[in-house]
Structure formats: C-alpha cells, structure tokens
Structure 1
Amino acid sequence: MSDHLQGRDAVFPAAEFDTRLARLQSAAQALGTEALVLTGPENIFWACGRQTAGYFAFQALVVRASAPPVLLVRQLETTGARASTWLKDIRAWQDGEDPAEALAALVQDLGLRHIAVERNAWFVSEALAAKIAAALTGVTMIDGSGVTEGLRAVKSPSELAAIRLAAGYAQAGIVSAIDACRAGATENDVTAAMISAAISAGSEAMAMEPLVSSGPRSGVPHATWRRRVLREGDGVFLELAGSHDRYHSALMRAVWMGPPPDEAARMMDVAERALDVALSAMRPGVACSVPHEAAQAVIDAAGYTEAFRKRIGYSMGAAFAPDWGEGAILSLFTGVNRLLEPGMVFHLPATLRSYGHYTVGVSETVIVTESGIEVLSDLPRQMTIR
C-alpha cells in the first residue's frame, strides 16, 4: 500500500535526491566501506531532504554502498521524515531508549561490518560518539567526515534556484531595515521591520538570527539587537540571510545616522573597493585564496590590516542553526587551494571594524558561473546616510 505522506513536503523531486544518493554510494564504494553513516542535519537534508526543527534529537542516515538508504530518527519525528523525504525505509528509536544502541541495532540488522561514520557533526557530542563506538562491537569504523561536504560545494540547478529566491527575501529585509533606521527607533524596531519584510517576501526560518547593532555595539562582531535607541551620530550594522527550502543567501549593508566621521567614511570606501576586487577575481579555475588575497591587498594598502582579521568569504547553501553559512565546507581565504567551479555559491562580507566603536561594510552573495559570477542583489552598496 502506498504511503500518502511520502515526499508530500519534499523540497525537490525524488530524482534530485536519487542523484545525490548515487554519488554518496559511489563515495562509500571508493572508501572501500559498506555504508556511509551521516549524522549532520545539513548532510542528511542534502542527501534525502529530511528537515525538522527537532534535529537536536539524534538522527542518522545509513547510505549503503549497494542497497537503498535507511533513516533512523526519534519516534516523534517519523511522520515529518516520511513527509519530507522519498525514503521507503525509516526506522525509529523511542524516548528513553539509547540512540547509540538503536544505531548499533540497525547496523546489525542491516548486516553491516565495515562502515564510515561522520565524526564532525555538531549535534553528536563526544559522549554520544563514544557510546556509538562502544555499541558497534565487532564493526569496523573509519572516518567518513568531509565526504558529503565535498559533494555539497557545487550546487545543482534546483539548489541555485532556491538560493536566488532566498536572496530576494534577504534584500527585502535589508531594504525595510534601512528604511526603519531613524533617530528614536530602537534596534528592535529595525530588526522587526527586517524580519517581517523577509518573511512576508517568502523567507522561512533562518538558520541564524539577523545581526542588527548600533552605536558602539556595532563595533562588536556578531552582535544582535538589544533594545538600544538609535541616536544622531550612530553607525548601524545590518546583516541577515533569507531562507528558501533551507537554502540561504545573506546580505549586509551599513547605515549612519547623520554624516559619518571621516575615518568611518574612509573605511567604508576601502570595504567597497575590497569587495569589488574580490568579486572581480572570481571565475572558474581560480583558487579560493585569490579573491581573499585581492581584497586583503586593498585593505593592507589603506592601512586597515588590523581592522580586518578574517576571510573575505564562505560557501552558502543548505543550513540549519546555528549557522546560515557553509563556512566549514569552503572559505575564500589564504591557503585554500580548491578551484572555483560553476555552481559554487559564496557570501563575501567585506567588513572593517573600529572594535568596540563601529563596523562598516558591505556584502554580496554570488554564484560562480561558466565565465564569472552572478551577483544576487541589485541593492546599492554604499553606506546609507539617514
């Protein structure tokens, strides 16, 4: 009998995931193992479409090298797993049951003796990993970390379409936030306008909260809104990511309440030029280090090396909290030698900080194309003066 829930809420047709699973099966075969066990929510989602707000509970996707995959989830999550995936074999562990023992029982039931297990998933603690290793008695385990991430770096046309939609949501949020920046408004007012506009445009839950800060607080990296009242002379930092079917696109802009100080204006000019040269350096066949080094050269020449101690960009794609980016997969940074390929997606935040005083900057999310890049926003990049 057919399952009326199967794939009802899936973000892509079954064929999209069949292709991904086939690539994972090939990877498992290349490792010389019988199965690849995925535990990270982004990797499981990429492989089969499984998504939920309950990913804090242990889950595992067992991708067998020569047989259909099997998904293990908490019992409460089985209905959502059936609706969000096209998988035919979904198993459950019960509240009160040790998920490590449940995984071991599944591996035994499938007759697996040699598996590759992800060891870098955020939601598998060191203690749980030790329990899993102890429970899998008689099973040879090798490290399967990084296999799925390597495949996720280049997006399919369906993924790129979702990211383009997410970019529109992010731009709607930034436009509304800029409009809400006025003396007497609070950071909460600005954030409410930002989130409301992004969600009204179509965004789903974002994998990380927006970054909205003003005055001296804007000089603190990754600060979020805290009811502060905007005043004349404040700088305001705005950044968020829109989300479509878990695929994210981020955008950042700067606002100043009245004329900015000369130093802030100079720093903003340098940030814009650094972003411009980084974007100009991006095309297929160029190493990921090249855009960063181009931006860093502009920043260093202007004397702002200490104001920029980070990478110029990171990969974007499918994301779950706590991060909207794929920075753990691929960075635009010194020493990263992987070549850019068509279908890769990056967020490039060019930010300069007077730490504890203010931050200025601008960003774009871009898709690497056959000949260069596609910038996903058309919002002016200069600082907005309110």
Structure 2
Amino acid sequence: MNHHDYRVMLQKTAAGSECPFPESEFQRRREALNESMRAESLDALLLTDPSDIYYLTGYNTFEVSVHSALVFTPRRMVLQVPSIETGPAVACTRVEEILGYRWEGVEEVLMPLAKVLAEAGPRIGVDFWHGSLRHGVMSGLAERLPGHRFLDAGPLMDGVRIVKSAAELDCLAESARITGLGIEAAAQAVRPGITDSEIAAIGARVMHEAGSEFMSMQPIVTVGRRSSIIHANHQRHTIAEGEPVFLEFGSAWKRYTAPMMRTVIAGAPSAKMEAVFDVCHLLYAALLDAMRPGHRFDDAAQAGEQVLAPIATEAFFSGVFGYTVGAQFPPSWVEGTGFIARGQMRRFEVGMVFHLPLCLRLPGQWGIGCSDTVRVTEQGGEPITANPWTLGCSQ
C-alpha cells in the first residue's frame, strides 16, 4: 500500500481523531489570521514552522526535521507532508487537502506546492527568519513563480499567536502542574554523590508519569562550576558537597510548555549564593510589577536592569528577562513571538504568557537561577507555575 492509499484508508477511520482542540478554537485562530492577512494585502501564507502549522491545524509529530508546509488562504488550507507523516496529517488535523510526497523524494515538493500558490494569488507571506524554511524550497518556488512576490510575514503570525486563548491557558496550566511535580522530585533527590544525569532522569520520569508528552527540551541539570556555563547540560557529573545544582524543566501538554527553574544546594549555601539568589528574587518582583497592559517590553527590561545594576559587572545575564511560551516542538520551548528585552517596543496585553529565565552566572564559579512562567493580567504578571522561590538545600 502506497502513502496515497494509506491516507485514503486512514481518512475513513481516523480523520481528526487526535485533533487537540475543537474546531471552534481553530476557527477563532484562523479568523484572526485572516484579518491580519487582509491588513497586509496578502493572498496566502506559506508556513513551514511546525508550531505555526500545529497552531492552525493540530498537526503533531515528533519528526520535525523533514519538510512540511501549510498553504493558508482565506478560503483554503493545503497541508504538504512526506509519506512517513501521513498518519499524523490525517489523525491530528481536519485538513481535507493533504499533499504527500515520497520521504526520499524531497524534490517532489516543488511542483504541487507551486501549483497551489499560483492559484492563491501573487502576494505570498513567508517567515524568512525561521530555520524550517529551506533555501531549496524558496529558490525553487521563486523560479517557478516569477510573477509572485514573497514577503516577510513572520511578525504577522507572531502577532496572532502572542495572546493566548482560554484553551491555551488551560494547556499551559496543566504543563505548569506537571513541570512542578518533576522539578520538585528532582530537587528532593539532590545530595552529594548523585550525578546530574540521575537528577535529570528522576525529573523526566516523574513528568512522563504525570502525563507529559515528548518535551520540546529535555530536563536541564548542571552542577558546580558547570552551572556557570549557559546552556550546558547534564553529563554524568557527580555532585559534591556545597555545590549548587541548577534545574530547568518544562513538560509538554498538547505541545504547550510552562518552564520553571530552581537551584538547590547540595548542603548549605554560602553567603554569596544567598546574596545572588536574593537579586534574582528582587528582579522577579520588579518584572511582575512592570508587566502591565500598556507598558512596553522595553519598560520592563529597564526595570530589571535597575535591579541588576549592583551585580551587572560580576555576573553574566543573557539580557532577555522573559520570552513568550506556547505550543512548540523540539529543539526549543521558546515561542519567540516576543521578548522582554531592551529595544523591544511591543506593549503587554492581557493573556500574553512569558517564561522569566532569571539566572545569574559567576564565570568559573557557579550559577544561581530561579524562574516562573507568568501570564499578563490587568494587575501585572501572575505566575502560572508554583515556584517556592527558596534557595533549596539538601539535608
């Protein structure tokens, strides 16, 4: 049975059976996108970011390294996937037009894709800055559609996704609950003699047992001096007495992730560790207060910089006080529709959700990090995760 016949047979029994949301939720999203497209006079969008495709259709797969695309117009949706993704395309979506191509025959994508875009109209929006947009696809389409204009529409899709619906907030709340279970279990297991890998395994097991799907990023655990190196991860290192153990976890629920950071000391913290942790806590309070509707992301970043000023030359901080989270796929849970950082002039709106990755690293010594995932309310930031905001100490 080839993939075309497989699709036809599946559609008789499994079409839409694993779609994550009711059609009304997807219709709300599509109407918002249609309105934004009209404002930009776009005839169609060519979407290749797995999370964008999921957002509009429910298409869900762990195999996101292959070419997949969604052509979205006000009247039509066409999903293009390789043969090995026929199952998810049928079961996870209600899209009626599915274009399959042989997994090993990626050159087959151009002709049918060009045909659909030719029928849509000459102004096509794409996200030029997303890594899923392959140069071969873009150059091939430009060659086949010389009368079409391909315009950067990344900000357009970001603007639709950045404010979360009630259904999305429910998913983030469930992720937050599971993330909390995993990070608490890992924190309780910290002691001298255990390895960072064992701590990560404990957290991962608890989150999966509690219902997490495959995660967009695996649990992050670093200890001692390695915790001063941003984006290092567990690597079979044994925890020694007095070392900080940095934890950053994020479970997935219907692909939505609410991450959280904690730091636990394998023994008693030094006075310096406590002082750095206190800065993180003050920084968190300042950001919650600044995350009010109408305030700019830049305003919140400036409030954060004022707290950081006394330690700014001693500790490394990424410069990003918060980033949006939502539905994502590996390799990252960062949604990327907004950043709390200097120069970011978008204004907060009720329903935006940010992870506040507040970690201060003293190079060659250690790092202390603590965070929550926070939603914007009329009164400011309100945590979705339930971080105890203590510098944990093992007994």
TM-score, normalisation: structure 1: 0.94
Hey, what does 2:32 align to over in structure 1? Answer: 23
How far apart are 1:302 and its partner, in Å? 4.5
Q: Does 1:381 align with 2:389?
A: yes
Q: Which moved more, 1:141-150 or 1:240-249?
A: 141-150
Which one-letter code corresponds to 1:198 in the other structure?
M
Match of 2:216 among 200, 207, 212: 207
2:315/2:363 contact within 8 Å kept? no
Instruction: Measure how far apart 1:208 and its partner are.
Output: 1.2
1:1-386 matched pairs, under 5 angstroms: 3-65=12-74, 67-95=75-103, 96-98=105-107, 99-108=109-118, 110=119, 112-302=121-311, 306-326=315-335, 328-386=336-394
User: 23-32 vs 144-153, which deviates more?
Assistant: 23-32
1:171 touches 1:379 (CA, 8 Å); kept in 2? yes
Q: Is the 8 A contact 1:24 1:63 kept in 2?
A: no
SS where residue 179 of structure 1 aligns? helix
Higher mean C-alpha displacement, 208-217 vs 150-159: 208-217
Question: After alignment, is 1-10 or 261-270 more displaced?
Answer: 1-10
- Contact 1:25–1:63 (CA<8 Å) still a contact in 2? no
Deviation of 1:303 after TM superposition, in Å, equals: 5.3
The answer (yes or no) to whether the contact 1:166–1:248 under 8 Å persists in 2 is yes
Distance 1:333 1:359 in 2: 21
Please state whether the residue corresponding to 1:174 is helix, strand or coil: helix
**What is the DSSP-based 3-state SS (H/G/I as helix, E as strand, rest coil) of the residue aligned with 2:251?**
strand
AA partner of residue 277 (structure 1): A
For 1:51, the aligned partner's letter is N
Q: Distance in 2 between matches of 1:11 and 1:333?
A: 33
Cα pair 2:355 2:373 within 8 Å, conserved: yes
Q: 1:304 offset after TM fit, Å?
A: 5.1
Return the offset for 1:316: 0.8
Maintained 8 Å contact 2:43/2:120: no
The answer (yes or no) to whether the contact 1:299–1:305 under 8 Å persists in 2 is no
Amino acid at match of 2:117: V
Whole-angstrom CA distance in 1 between matches of 2:134 and 2:66: 11
Aligned equivalents of 1:39, 1:287: Cα separation in 2: 30
Structure 1 residue aligned with 2:3: none
Amino acid across the alignment from 2:300: P
| Cα shift at 1:37 | 1.4
Identity among equivalent pairs (%): 32
* Cα distance in structure 2, aligned partners of 1:306 and 1:352: 6
Task: State the shift of 1:189 in Å.
Answer: 0.9
Q: CA RMSD in A?
A: 1.9
How far does residue 306 in structure 1 lie from its aligned partner after superposition? 4.3
Unaligned 5+ segments in structure 1 are none
Conserved in 1, the CA contact under 8 Å of 2:191 and 2:267?
no
- Residue type of the alignment partner of 1:29: R
CA distance in 1 between partners of 2:361 and 2:377 (Å): 31
Instruction: Point out where structure 2 has 5 or more consecutive residues left out of the alignment.
Output: 1-7
| 1:22 Cα deviation from its structure 2 partner | 1.9
- Measured against aligned partners, the alpha-carbon deviations of 1:39-93 in whole angstroms (never above 9, x if no partner) come to 111111111111111222111111113x121111112212211111111211212
Residue pair 1:37, 1:144 contacting (<8 A) in 2 also: no
Distance 1:27 1:354 in 2: 44
Q: Give the CA deviation at 1:111.
A: 5.4
Alpha carbons 1:258, 1:385 under 8 Å: kept: yes
Q: Deviations over 1:127-182 (max 9, x none)?
A: 44323322334333322222111110000100000000000111111101101111
- For 1:97 and 1:347, the matched residues in 2 are separated by 37
Q: 1:114 to 1:193 in 2, by over 3 A?
A: same
Q: CA separation in 2, counterparts of 1:298 and 1:97? A: 51
Q: What's the offset of the Cα at 1:340?
A: 0.9
Partner amino acid, structure 1, of 2:251: G
Deviations, residues 293-350 of structure 1 (Å, cap 9, x unaligned) = 2222111035556432421111111111111112x32011112121111110001121
